[in-house]
Amino acid sequence: HENRIDGKAMADRLVADVAKQVATLKQTEHVIPGLAVVIVGDDPASKVYVGNKIKRAKEAGLNSIKYELPENCTQDELEQLIERLNNDADVHGILVQLPLPKPLSEARVIELISAEKDVDGFHPQNVGRLVAGQHSLVPCTPLGCLIMLREHFHGEAALSGKHAVVIGRSNIVGKPLAQLLLQANCTVSIVHSRTRDIETLCRQADILIAAVGRPQLVEKNWVKPGAVVIDVGINAIESDGARKLVGDVDFASVSQVASAITPVPGGVGPMTIACLMQNTLNAARMQIQHSDPIRT
Ligand code: NAD
pLDDT tens for the chain, 296 residues long, are 689 999 999 999 999 999 999 999 999 999 999 999 999 999 999 999 999 999 999 999 999 999 999 999 999 999 999 999 999 999 999 999 999 999 999 999 999 999 999 999 999 999 999 999 999 999 999 999 999 999 999 999 999 999 999 999 999 999 999 999 999 999 999 999 999 999 999 999 999 999 999 999 999 999 999 999 999 999 999 989 999 999 999 999 999 999 999 999 999 999 999 999 999 999 999 999 888 788 88
Catalytic residue among 53, 117, 162, 175: 53
22 Cβ closer than 6 Å to some ligand 1 atom: no
Instruction: Decide if 32-114 and 140-269 have a common fold.
Output: yes
52 Cβ closer than 6 Å to some ligand 1 atom: no
Q: From the CB of residue 244, how many other CB atoms can be counted at a distance below 10 Å?
A: 12
141 Cβ closer than 6 Å to some ligand 1 atom: yes
203 Cβ closer than 6 Å to some ligand 1 atom: no
Contacts of 8 (CB under 8 A, 6+ apart): 266, 270
| Active-site residue, 53 included | yes
Domain ranges of the chain: 32-114, 140-269
The CATH number of domain 140-269, selected from 3.40.50.720, 3.30.300.30, 1.10.1200.10, 3.30.530.20: 3.40.50.720
Q: Are strands 242-246 and 235-239 parallel, antiparallel or unpaired?
A: antiparallel
What is the model's pLDDT at position 271?
98
Amino acid making up residue 286: M
What is the model's pLDDT at position 16?
98
Q: How far is CA 200 from the centre of its chain?
A: 27
| Active-site residue, 97 included | yes
Burial of 153 (0-12, 13-18, 19+ CB in 10 A): middle
| Third-level CATH fold of 32-114 | Rossmann fold (3.40.50)
pTM beyond 0.90, yes or no: yes
Catalytic residue among 21, 117, 120, 278: 120
What is the model's pLDDT at position 1?
63
Burial of 89 (0-12, 13-18, 19+ CB in 10 A): exposed
| Active-site residue, 66 included | no
Contact between 191 and 170 under an 8 Å Cβ cutoff? The reply is no
Q: Is the ipTM of this complex over 0.85?
A: yes
